[in-house]
Structures are given as C-alpha cells and as structure tokens.
Amino acid sequence: MSLILAKIDEVKARIDWLKELFKVVITVMVADVAGMAKLYLDNTIDVLFYMGGLLLPFLLYVCIDISRKIERHFNELELLLSS
C-alpha cells in the first residue's frame, strides 16, 4: 500500500512540475507575441520580428507536448487511485 502512495506522490509531483513548465512556456509565448506586435506597430519589421515568428511554432509544439504529458500522468494517477 505504501508503494502505491509513494507512486501517487511521485506522479503528482511530476504533474505539478509540468504545470509550472507549461506556465513558463505560455508566458514566453505571450511575451513573444507582444514583442512582435510592438515591432509591427513601430513599423520596424526586421530580423527580430521574423525570429519571433519562427519561435512561435516551436513554442506551440512544446505546449502541445507538455499538455500530452500532463494528460498521460493524469491517466496514470487515475489508474493508481482506482487500484
């Protein structure tokens, strides 16, 4: 029984860590979009603007990957709690 409780705590800790990582990535995405908008409004479309645009798909992929991992850990947690 204590093995199951330890595993539950481990899965919860991983979920918490992934949630914090997700928050950081979303914050970086918001900052990136805000920076691109500022560059666009200032009419200074240069290398920085395009680098921000190229960064967005990568960050989107990271967000999707993190959310899938969180879902996987929630499913694992559900299985542990039902046993």
Chain segment 6-20, per-residue pLDDT in tens: 999 999 999 999 999
Separation of alpha carbons 29 and 47, rounded Å: 18
Taking the mean position of all CA atoms in its chain, how far away is CA 70?
Answer: 9
Cβ within 8 Å of residue 1, ≥6 positions away: none
Q: What is the structure's pLDDT at 14?
A: 96
**pLDDT, tens only, 32-52:** 999 999 999 999 999 999 999
Structural domains in the chain (count): 1
Q: Is the pLDDT of residue 74 over 90?
A: yes
Q: Which domain holds residue 42?
A: 2-82
